[in-house]
Amino acid sequence: MKFSRAAWVAFVCLILLASRPDAQQAAPTDIKEFLKKVRANLQLDNDLQTQYTYLERRADVRVSKLGKVTIGPKRTFEVYPSGKPGKTYKRLIEVDGQRLSEAELQRRDEEHRQAVLAQYEKEQNESAADKEKRLKKDADEQREQREVVDDGFAVYDIALVGQEVQDGCQMTVAQLTPRPNAQTRTEYGGYFKKFKGRAWVCQDDYQVARIEMEAIDDITIGWGLLGRVHEGSKFTFTRKKVNGEIWLPAEAKFEASGRTLMFRKFQLFTVTSYSDYKKFNVNTSVTYGDHPKEDP
């Protein structure tokens, strides 16, 4: 089961912006048009995120064929964006605090460059049918993202419950309560019903600064045969304002317990951090390419 950071942020941003305290002051005459503008602004925010390089530090969760859950080594990546979704290059530079040798970095960079060239060559010579298939896959992924946002609207009842100051910003605190009988279209929509939470929204620009979600019921995977994540498992996502101009991911935490293959118990806590944001220099694409793949 995957938890998409982008999906969580997207649907919470949209819901909270639609519920913003000064919405009556704006007095939109057409709520559909109002929400359409909100979505357009959110897409612009996503586009801006692709204009930065940054460091990502994480330890991946691994599940063996026998269902044993372990946490991998702490790895640090230099992240180089791409205009194509899912094609960002994550350049592994450290493992457990030890930097990779220059020879190993060069080997990986060359391997990546060759993959970029191969993908470019493939796309240049693909048949009309293959191109149509590739474009359809991209379109299907974009459609699913929109449906995830729609499911967020359908699932969550939003209540504005307070005001707090965090990082020098006045925050509006919103409570997210799932409607158990809400009709959804995506796999994520089903997961949303299993979580309650809160979101903190900066009043300066109505950007989501923090999300805290907690499972209110067990979450089964593969009808419970593959695994089960227990009630009480938590997910926290934090964003920071970078260079005083844009909110970008800062930290994601996942704390969970459960079982795999019905009998193996697990308990885990992982933290992924994002830092050192810098404006992306397009000249870097000469080295890392426009069609990169993520480090496995």
Residue 124 tokens read as 């240049």
96: left (phi over 0), alpha (psi -120 to 50) or beta: left
Which residue matches tokens 């990169």? 292
Residue 102 tokens read as 């220059």
Query: Tell me, what's the pLDDT at 223?
Result: 57
SS3 per-residue string spanning the chain: CCCCHHHHHHHHHHHHHHCCCCHHHHCCCCHHHHHHHHHHHHHHHHHHHCCEEEEEEECCEEECCCCCEEECCCEEEEEECCCCCCCCEEEEEEECCEECCHHHHHHHHHHHHHHHHHHHHHHHHCCHHHHHHHHHHHHHHHHHHHHHHHHHHHHEEEEEEEEEEECCEEEEEEEEEECCCCCCCCHHHHHHCCEEEEEEEECCCCEEEEEEEEECCCEEECCCCCEEECCCCEEEEEEEEECCCEEEEEEEEEEEEEEECCCEEEEEEEEEEEEEEEECCHHHHHHHCCCCCCCC
* Domain residue spans of the chain: 5-288
Provide the b/e sequence for 209-223 (b: ≥16 CB within 10 Å): bbbbbbbbeebeeee
Query: Tell me, what's the pLDDT at 255?
Result: 92
Residue 72 tokens read as 């991998």
What's the residue count for the chain? 296
Query: Tell me, what's the pLDDT at 150?
Result: 80
Query: Tell me, what's the pLDDT at 49?
Result: 65
CB distance 62 to 71 below 8 Å: yes
pLDDT along the chain (296 residues), means of 10: 44 47 38 46 58 91 82 93 75 96 95 88 87 86 79 80 85 86 86 89 80 89 71 91 85 90 84 91 51 40
Model's pTM, two decimal places? 0.77
Query: Tell me, what's the pLDDT at 59?
Result: 92
Which residue matches tokens 């005459």? 29
